[in-house]
Structure 1
Amino acid sequence: MGSIPQAGVSFAERVVDQLRGWPALSVCRVDCGGSRGLALSTRQIVHLHSANEAELYLTWPVIQRMHEVLVDSERVMLVPGEDWVRVRLDGDSDVRLFTSLVSVAIQANSAAVRECHQPVAPCPKHRLTSV
């Protein structure tokens, strides 16, 4: 299951540390609050709202295609009709899972980035706090 983060570094920070070197991504402040995220060009695809949870803009078509695998992982939380998924980050294997899903999200969002920066649906946290 989980393991203890190194020297007080949260698993969310470990995600950022691993992904900040990816040429397609840049670290950013998320639109829905004071937390950090990662963007593909100007399109935010990762939101890190806490030390042990991350949201990923995977897109609904990809979620539908991968639905069974995502549900079976028991680490990914889905909301029907949402483009975002939430992933629990309680161990190294969760960080590896999330990193793999970020790679899928980059592919899923690359076409939209090239097409006039189509808007991203607000993350679920934003919708909950703006109601």
Structure 2
Amino acid sequence: MKIERLPGKALGRSIGSAFGPFVFIATVANDRTANLVVQTKDLLSRLEDQLLALGSHKGAIVSATVYLADMSRKTEFDNVWVEWIGDDQSHWPQRACVGAVLAEQTAVEISVIAVCRAHMSA
């Protein structure tokens, strides 16, 4: 099997990869000077595009790890997340949210594991 990779801008890493039935993505917002809500919306839009590029979609996310620079703002993140992920509980991934020291002005980073569309049963 071949590993498919989406090239990234940062030296030494890709923004996503797929192998067999799984897709792995870690992403941040393009504009890291924006506030948490704006960064989250941008990040989730980018994540959705990256999932599609690797043959998956947000409803196929199995696991998500959210890294927040300021855990006191988790409710703000959660509000944007819930709006994005939708109300269908069958599409809700397992999710962990942890506080972390992030690079530069990054307010949020997300790492996900999803299933490729070709490997999902009807």
Q: Which has the higher contact order (CA 8 A, sep 6+)?
A: 2
TM over 0.5: no
Normalized per residue, the structure richer in helix is 1
Normalized per residue, the structure richer in strand is 2
TM-score, length basis structure 2 = 0.28
